[in-house]
Structure 1
């Protein structure tokens, strides 16, 4: 870093700011990692829900096709 070569306050201050920037960047990346894992979990749940819903619709349509409704009385 610059402060390793130059010992003035002018050289030390930018080095401190650079280190603070890296610390903030690390925190942001870690927080995004948590958000990404939460999004993956939500996506997995959504896919599971979609599969279960599709299975339920298939069961309903299969039951409807197996027992077609016959009209008991015509339309007047």
Structure 2
């Protein structure tokens, strides 16, 4: 799945397990929703924790250039 004929491609499955920053908060929020039959009013604390974690992740500086697959395809086009 990660390899294509004639093109360079990196499988994203290898890199999926590197970083999952808000996984614990999301699991606690989803467990709270499951226990309370999808009632948001009873899971306000878990929802706030998840929102603060997600906001902290978006404020981190991201690399302005695209994904590695985009650059590999761009380089392979230039070689032809």
Whether these two folds match at TM > 0.5 is: no
Which structure shows the bigger proportion of residues in helix conformation? 1
Q: Which has the higher contact order (CA 8 A, sep 6+)?
A: 2
Structure with max Cα Rg: 1
